[in-house]
Structure 1
Amino acid sequence: MTKKIVLLTGISGFIGLHIARELLNKGFHVRGSLRNLKKAENIKNTLKKASADVSELSFIELDLTSEKGWDCAAENCDYVMHVASPYAAAEPKHEDDMIKPAVDGSLRALRAAKKAGVKRVVLTSSTMTMMATMKSGTFGPNDWADTHSKDIGTYAKSKTLAEQAAWQFMEQQDSAMELVTVHPGGVFGPTLDDDIAGQSMEMIDQMLRGKIPMLANVAIPMVDVRDVANAHIQAMTNTKVAGQRIIVSHSEPTHLTEIARILKTHGYKGPSTRIAPNLLLRFMALFDNEAKGMLGLLGMNVHADNSKALTLFDWNPRPFSESVLDAATSITRIRRNK
């Protein structure tokens, strides 16, 4: 029987690697996109060490900012999983540096998928597209962040505009192709490679080393990267979710200090559970772009309506403490081996 082919953009990322492992071990052929094919052998070795069957893994060079290669990448694919998106915790100098690649990349993936006759596109969105301009209450699949709000951060704005562009594209098509968007909360858990530069891994690394004396007053729904990967596979194959926005996170918010508390409870000495005054962070934001990127989230304490994932999928998120501790174990291993 011919293997189903999945184009997976952003395969080298924190989420992308976990998705690739799940796809390969479920018998799909994975065509992973990289901005530079020099990374291909390293990605292959990483997945092999993570017990993935890499015999059905191939690579193609793609860039969100270029038309080059997209039609070729989607050719003969049954599915496209568009995970790649520009990310930085710090506010960029110009918002279009993040927004334009996010929007244009999503549209390139959709155009190529349509041309290739792809059955379904799964787009990795974010709960930020729903909750970024809320402070309290419960958000759900019918909610959208206000992209005109002065409080919205550039990352949240880029994800919202990219997803809105994707749904608008679908509305304008006379095509059998389907779209499903997956919306993770704050993503934690173990890394498959040795990269701890991602936001959640870097935050825990800094906590473990005692480099974060105070934490922002923010509480949002969180989720494990392995549960996010599993949800992506189900979003791709579940016949009941075409045209749906699926929230994949715990319903309850987790305060950033809870991450520190979990680590301290399990013997880690570095984390601090002190909360930074909002005024201090607003002052820091005047000269620190990373602090500036947090401003829109200050005081946020929101719940998620994750009922679609719980009822339509065979899915139940693991305890968040497990995600935090497995991330810490990953970081400790990486630091020890360097």
Structure 2
Amino acid sequence: MTHVLVTGGSGYIGSWCTLALLDAGFTVRTTVRDPAREPQLRATLNRPGANLEVVRADLSADDGWRAAADGCDAILHVASPTLTRPPRDDDEMVRPAVDGTLRVLRAARDAGVRRVVMTSAIGAIAYGHPPRDTPFTERDWTNVDAGIGPYQKSKTLSERAAWDFVAGEGRGLELATVNPTAVLGPVLGPDYSPSLNGIARMLDGSMPTLLKFATGYVDVRDVASLHLLAMTEPAAAGERFIATAGHSLWQRDIARIMRERLGERAAKVPTREMPLAVARGLALVNPQMGALKMLLGRNLDATSAKAERLLGWKARPIEDTVVETAESLLALPR
């Protein structure tokens, strides 16, 4: 493989995947919805002279996808529809995610692409289940009928649609998915993943108390390296891979790491945990809290043993990632 298309190359994970590909010597084409963002993307990547082409394509329309896929050996489908406000109903997020995924897969098949690696999420694996003591694995699927949030539903149904398409209409197209837990890591600019907002709010004092939930975390650079392994390794075809670093962490663990490692720079990081009953009450009336209501009181542990065994993937210590995330956020211009 030499030519790779990255959908959503201006996003947080997409940018790091693009960097990993360029640094590994691949020729990369990446899509953006707005061509005016190309100079900003190139400046963010900071790879002058790199074999990088930026093209326009939008998940909500057919135009541009076949041309974007032509001549590519593989596609990293990282792009996902986003909303700047809570959706009015689930379909407002689900339909664009499913339809956009199918547009990319049709274009890949018709252009003779060998393999697509789709960025899914732990949200397609670990939600809507009763409490459990064992880690989630790639055999698990989120229960979309259990009152889960629209984001998790969109990730689950779009991944399901991808597997169904490849099985029924793919004509030999290979698929692998990467399912990251909460993604942290250094920021490349002021636009970064929503999963970093919790770190940012702890640091600036806008999160006065901690919430009681635990989930897995993973470094964005390790997520990018897993995408490349899933793209190039023969054993990855037809497989799902959870990306997580070790066991899950409670939010209080994240706060403790920052206070211990950052000293005075973490002076605003909270130390108290909000009582669970209070948090659940707030989740009924506060949209920001409502998005976390399925997590409150839960421990969504997961394992990356499959990626380690089949692909030789290894995640860096998450404690180091937490610190590097915080330091990069603190370094942003204010």
How far the C-alpha of 1:26 sits from its partner, in A, is 0.8
Point out where structure 1 has 5 or more consecutive residues left out of the alignment.
Answer: none
Alignment-mate amino acid for residue 306 of structure 1: S
Question: What pairs with 1:238-253 in structure 2 (closer than 5 Å)?
Answer: 238-253=233-248
How far the C-alpha of 1:202 sits from its partner, in A, is 2.0
Q: What is the aligned partner in structure 2 of residue 312 from structure 1?
A: 310
Q: Retained in 2: the 8 A contact 1:215–1:275?
A: yes
Matched, 1:222 2:220: no
How far the C-alpha of 1:286 sits from its partner, in A, is 3.1
In 1, distance between residues paired with 2:75 and 2:267?
A: 43
In 2, distance between residues paired with 1:88 and 1:139?
A: 28
Q: What is the aligned partner in structure 2 of residue 277 from structure 1?
A: 275
In 2, distance between residues paired with 1:124 and 1:289?
A: 26
How far the C-alpha of 1:70 sits from its partner, in A, is 0.8
Query: Structure 2 vs 1, CA of residues 171 and 177 (structure 1 numbering), >3 Å: closer, same or farther?
Result: same
Question: What pairs with 1:162-241 in structure 2 (closer than 5 Å)?
Answer: 162-173=158-169, 175-196=171-192, 198-241=193-236
How far the C-alpha of 1:93 sits from its partner, in A, is 2.0
How far the C-alpha of 1:31 sits from its partner, in A, is 0.7
Q: Retained in 1: the 8 A contact 2:138–2:241?
A: yes
Q: What is the aligned partner in structure 1 of residue 25 from structure 2?
A: 27
Query: Structure 2 vs 1, CA of residues 36 and 275 (structure 1 numbering), >3 Å: closer, same or farther?
Result: same
Question: What pairs with 1:20-169 in structure 2 (closer than 5 Å)?
Answer: 20-48=18-46, 52=47, 54-87=49-82, 91-134=86-129, 135-136=131-132, 137-150=134-147, 152-169=148-165
What is the aligned-residue identity percentage?
39
Query: Structure 2 vs 1, CA of residues 89 and 252 (structure 1 numbering), >3 Å: closer, same or farther?
Result: farther
Deviations 1:221-268 (A, max 9, x none): 111111000000110000111000011112411111111111111211
How far the C-alpha of 1:9 sits from its partner, in A, is 0.5
Q: Retained in 2: the 8 A contact 1:91–1:154?
A: no
In 2, distance between residues paired with 1:162 and 1:80?
A: 16
Matched, 1:263 2:258: yes
In 2, distance between residues paired with 1:90 and 1:131?
A: 24
In 2, distance between residues paired with 1:173 and 1:162?
A: 16
Deviations 1:37-94 (A, max 9, x none): 100011111111xxx3642001111111111111111111111110011246974222
In 2, distance between residues paired with 1:88 and 1:321?
A: 30
Q: What is the aligned partner in structure 1 of residue 287 from structure 2?
A: 289
Q: What is the aligned partner in structure 2 of residue 333 from structure 1?
A: 331
TM-score (norm 2): 0.94
TM-score (norm 1): 0.93
Query: Structure 2 vs 1, CA of residues 87 and 259 (structure 1 numbering), >3 Å: closer, same or farther?
Result: farther
Point out where structure 2 has 5 or more consecutive residues left out of the alignment.
Answer: none
* 3-state SS of paired residue (1:294): coil
Q: What is the aligned partner in structure 1 of residue 7 from structure 2?
A: 9
In 1, distance between residues paired with 2:87 and 2:210?
A: 22
How far the C-alpha of 1:101 sits from its partner, in A, is 1.2
Q: Retained in 2: the 8 A contact 1:65–1:104?
A: yes
Alignment-mate amino acid for residue 332 of structure 1: L
In 1, distance between residues paired with 2:292 and 2:83?
A: 11
